[in-house]
Amino acid sequence: MSRNKVYKSSYKFNQYYVVDNDKKITKDSLSVIAKKDGEQNIFDTVVAVLKSKNPEHVAEAMRVNTQPPFLIELIAENIPREYERTNEIVKAYEMISLADVNLGRAFRTQNYTYWKYAFLFMGRGVAAAKKQTYKKFSRIITPTIYTKLSKSRKNRNLKEQVTQKMSLKLHTSPKELEKQLVFYEELFKDNEQAYDLKQYFKLTDDEVKLFRSRKIPASVEKKRLTKLRKEQELEEKEIQKQKIIDAKKVELKEESKNKKEIKVKTKKDTVEDSSKTKSTTKSTKKVTKTKKSSNSTTKNKTESPKNSSKTSSKTSVDDKKTSKKNNKKKSRQTTLFDF
């Protein structure tokens, strides 16, 4: 194919074909191409939302390169300046609240398709809240909340410091403590209690001003310091007494251990001594037995003739006694025939 010929492929811009069926480009075919979407000024968008009732015009005006939270605050700040009827103001703020809900969902879930619904509520919803447009001039004002936040920045920093210090002692999150600071204002009304809380949370004088306007008197501090010193002295004395008692207990335990060890040693010594004495007695008995046996043998040798004569004399005496007994007459028993 030659270069002069029109390409068969057709270019598609915004869902329309530039080349006609005749494969020729003319001025009329260029009208099909849509214009580039232009960005609007943020103040023009607010004016369009508050002044117009045409939804297409409002949708075009909402093409702004700004953060949605800032745009919501800007529209919400200027609604009562433009709208006069209370019914319209209520409906407009309902739309603002729905837009804020969808923005919160977008930031919380990281699903930014909710931005579409947020822009729809804050744009077309606020524009549709009015019955008719107002033919008056109203100056667009920036949100006052940012100026208030900048002024109260010091107070917010002080709250953050205090909640961080208190969260370490109370084991709670700083966000929860911010809700409970109102109750601590009641606790800080009493001077002595305020001083105790200041010392417990380690707060400075500037941080105490968050809970009470007046400074804690110096006399209260002196009284509390003297009381604390006395209490510390009493505690130290009690600690010393407890140390002495503990030392005595340890000494008694050591003494009892030593006594037990001595008793065990003496028992062992006595057992050993008894075993030694038993062995010595056995050895002495053996020696005495051997001596007795040797002595008996010698005596038997020397006294054998004497013993033989003694035994013979003893036997003769016994024979004589028995013979005398036999020589005695036996007594006759008397019977009935004798009479």
| 289-316 residue pLDDT tens | 666 666 666 655 555 554 555 455 555 5
The proportion of the chain whose per-residue pLDDT surpasses 70, expressed as a percent, equals: 71
Residue of 75 and 334 predicted with greater confidence? 75
Structure tokens given for 180: 């409970």
Confidence class of residue 161 from pLDDT cuts 50, 70 and 90?
Answer: very high
pLDDT of residue 88: 93
Confidence class of residue 148 from pLDDT cuts 50, 70 and 90?
Answer: confident
Q: Is the pLDDT of residue 329 over 60?
A: no
Arithmetic mean of pLDDT, 141-148: 85
Q: How many Cβ atoms sit within 10 Å of the Cβ of residue 188?
A: 20
18-34 confidence digits (pLDDT tens): 555 666 677 666 665 65
Q: By the 8 A CB rule, do 156 and 148 touch?
A: no
Arithmetic mean of pLDDT, 264-276: 77
Q: How far apart are CA 163 and CA 175, in angstroms?
A: 8
Q: Which range is least confidently modeled, 19-23, 110-114, 191-195?
A: 19-23
Burial class (CB in 10 A: 0-12, 13-18, 19+), 322: exposed
Q: By the 8 A CB rule, do 188 and 212 touch?
A: yes
pLDDT of residue 330: 47
Residue of 44 and 318 predicted with greater confidence? 44
Mean pLDDT rounded to a whole number for the chain: 78
